[in-house]
Amino acid sequence: MSSSTSASAKVTIQNPQGLHMRPAYLFAETASKFDSQIELIKDDVRINGKSVLDILTLGAAQGTEILLEAVGEDALAAVEMLEQLVVSGFPTPEKPGEASETQA
């Protein structure tokens, strides 16, 4: 007997720049670690949560509410991890010894 699990969560974009390239990449990269089908829904637009380009087309600015949906065996884990990523504002990992990248 084969059954798919589904999970969803409403989240609000916290990142001040919204879902621009870096957060879109982080979201898609994280989503791709799961076997489940992952989609983002904003208004009446539904996109593939594993596609950076699709995520960028949402135009999700700070404060935008989106719905995360996942269907598959690891759907709950996927939604939980992706929800945490969005709620945390897509933090930038700190690299030891990395200075500000200002060019003269």
What pTM was estimated for this model as a whole?
A: 0.84
Chain centre distance of CA 101? 26
> Of residues 20, 48, 54, 71, which has the active-site annotation?
20
Alpha helices in 3-98 (DSSP H): 21-31, 52-57, 75-87
- 20 has catalytic annotation: yes
State the pLDDT at residue 3. 62
Q: What is the pLDDT of residues 27-76, one digit of tens each?
A: 999 999 999 999 999 999 999 999 999 999 999 999 999 999 999 999 99
